[in-house]
Structure 1
Amino acid sequence: MRKTLYIIGLSMAVFSCTSQQNAKKKQYIPKTPSVQPKTAVKTTSEKPKPKVTTEHGVEFFTTNIANPANNDNTASYGSIVSAKPAGYKVVKTYFPAIAQNFRQRYLILHYTALPDDKSITVLTQQAVSSHYLVNNTGDNQIYQLVDENKRAYHAGVSAWRADKNLNDTSIGIEIVNTGYITDASGKKIFAPFDDAQIKKVASLVKDIVSRYQIPATNILAHSDIAPTRKQDPGPLFPWKKLYDEYQIGMWYDEAQKQGFYDLATSTDFQSKYNDPAFIFNVQTQLQKFGYGLDLSGKWDDATKKTIEAFQYHFRPENYDGIMDAETYAVLQALVLKYSLK
């Protein structure tokens, strides 16, 4: 019996050893991959950026390295304003990023409705201001009152196309002019502008719109952006002269305007004047051009004042707030020329 047990135990031991050896033989040992050196990827070297210049401890960057076709611009027309966090240093190792543009997207023209001395006092000492004041004293001076990089309080409640509160995005120019008086019939009689003063305005506007790439559609009257409240700079401000002689602002093409006028007068224009559909169409065209106007389908006060503001700018011979065939033709020509720009 003892001999039999010995033989069985020996057999089991041999079987166990054989199984372990087979397991070792079948065990998978992963191969160590050979590491091949990577080929260096050639990167195009960045175009060296112009350096930030320093004058008397103040930093400036006056070169545009961005794409102006995308309305991107890195140039700064003032000193660079930087944070100064306590315990840390702000560096300009990667300055400037090319994805930026100007805050200054609009240029708004006003008159002061005051003489020179009172204009200065009001615009510097009260809760209203503008970036520039063009005097009427016959000299070659233009007064700067607010840094172009800061908001001046000149536009107030305002709108043009999709933008509102244009103080945030505009430069304001006030022009010394006494504004208007009202005659016995209630008509507004406006004061003319001096030719030498208009030359100052033209030179100043050209400089600003060139630096900030402000389009013609964004060079506006205060009355354009706030037609229910404001009349300035009024119908005697020479918008057409600025357009013809200085390429400033918007104006319609005479041939297009005449075509729209002929079409309007060939139909019974007057008979549909009070038709709500016609009024709605007029309001839509004014809104499409840029004016902030609700579409009521009625000749309400806001619509009449908006037409009057439009006439101040583009049909100054008659600013009665009535949409006659001439005004309608001018509006159509302007919408055709500028609606997509």
Structure 2
Amino acid sequence: MRKTLYIIGLSAFVFSCTSQQNVKKNTYKPKTPVAQPKPVAKTPVPVAPKPKVVSDHGVDFFTTNIADPTKNDNTASYGSIVSAKPAGYKVVKTYFPAIAQNFRQRYLILHYTALPDDKSITVLTQQAVSAHYLVNNTGDNEIYQLVDENKRSYHAGVSSWRNDKNLNDTSIGVEIVNAGYSSDSTGKRIFAPFSDEQVRKVAALAKDIITRYQIPATNVLAHSDIAPTRKQDPGPMFPWKKLYDEYQIGMWYDEATKQGLVSMAETDFATRYNEPSFIFLVQTALQKFGYGVEASGKWDDATKKTIEAFQYHFRPQNYDGIMDAETWAILQALNQKYPVK
């Protein structure tokens, strides 16, 4: 009996040791070292140094654009920087300029004075009307500046174009010395021509302003475009097509597009001219292009004057204020070329 118990105890001991060895063998797993990726050194992106504000006799200037021109942003200052001078404090330009800014000057508006040179100067400098520039008709190479470009001149009056109103706030005005118009025996307006010297001056001036302020072609306009019910200037003798062709200034339609629309326009006028729905369509097209005309569905006086203003600019051979097939084709061609964005 004692021998039997000994054998059983020895067997249990051997089984216990074996089990512990198996457990240790099954649970032990040597750790394999994992290679850690080496950190990649970041190359710092070089930041272009911001141009400094330049001081001259205590006046600050910043003439370099560091903003994004594709967004029509521009940080350049054409003239001195105007700054506050709060009592007891110092305004510093350590972080000047902020990128998010653009120009106030978004339109260029052309006028005629309907006065000779000397009277034009007097009226535009001494009375309650003005312009930024006056182009004389004396045959010299001078252009008179009358108002700082950063300030509003009183040239546009009650005005609108597309979604903008009161264009004195956002425009530069250029007056051109010209006699304006007289009326013949039938009441038709006969407009005075512009001299070649004046046209060259206007083109050079306009090109400079448009380039500096990034003014789009759709915003180079006649006074009659932005106030068609009350203004005629600069009238049908002003050479808009010449400025477009020779100087790339302003808008003009594509002849091929216009010709492709003429036959359809002729059909419209032969069959639909007096239908309110067609009149409404024409008025809506004038609105779409930019004119502030009410879509009344009637050939009313405001619509006639707006058509007349359109013809002054884009169909100067006939400016009777009556919408005909060619004028209708030109309007549609312009709306295709210059859609509202």
What's the TM-score bracket when you normalise by the shorter of the two chains?
0.7 to 0.9
1:286 partner amino acid: L
Matching residue of 2:324: 324
Aligned identity (percent) is: 80
Matching residue of 2:242: 241
1:63-106: CA deviation from partner (whole Å, max 9, x where unpaired)? 00000001000000010000000000000010000000000000
Matching residue of 2:112: 111
Q: Could you say what secondary structure the match of 1:260 adopts? A: helix
Structure-2 separation of matches of 1:322 and 1:268: 14
Matching residue of 2:101: 100
1:112 partner amino acid: T
Matching residue of 1:277: 277
Q: Could you say what secondary structure the match of 2:174 adopts? A: strand
1:16-75: CA deviation from partner (whole Å, max 9, x where unpaired)? xxxxxxxxxxxxxxxxxxxxxxxx999756431100001111100000000000100000
Q: Given the alignment of the two structures, is residue 286 of structure 1 paired with residue 286 of structure 2, yes or no? A: yes
TM-score, length-normalised on structure 1?
Answer: 0.86
Structure-1 separation of matches of 2:340 and 2:173: 25
Structure-2 separation of matches of 1:248 and 1:278: 32
1:114-171: CA deviation from partner (whole Å, max 9, x where unpaired)? 0000000000000000000000000000000000000000000000000000000000
Matching residue of 1:133: 134
1:165-189: CA deviation from partner (whole Å, max 9, x where unpaired)? 0000000000000100111111000
Structure-2 separation of matches of 1:200 and 1:257: 31
Matching residue of 1:198: 199
Q: Could you say what secondary structure the match of 2:204 adopts? A: helix
Structure-1 separation of matches of 2:190 and 2:271: 31
Q: Could you say what secondary structure the match of 1:240 adopts? A: helix
Is contact 2:75–2:98 with CA below 8 Å preserved after alignment? Answer: yes
Runs of 4+ more than 4 Å apart: 40-45
Matching residue of 2:305: 305
Matching residue of 1:173: 174
Q: Could you say what secondary structure the match of 2:334 adopts? A: helix
Q: Could you say what secondary structure the match of 1:269 adopts? A: helix
Structure-2 separation of matches of 1:264 and 1:293: 21
Q: Could you say what secondary structure the match of 2:80 adopts? A: coil
2:49 partner amino acid: P
Is contact 2:288–2:340 with CA below 8 Å preserved after alignment? Answer: no
1:206-243: CA deviation from partner (whole Å, max 9, x where unpaired)? 00000000000000000000000100000000000000
Structure 1 residues 1-341: aligned runs within 5 Å: 44=45, 46-265=47-266, 267=267, 269-341=269-341
Structure-1 separation of matches of 2:336 and 2:265: 16
How far is the alpha carbon of 1:340 from its aligned partner? 3.1
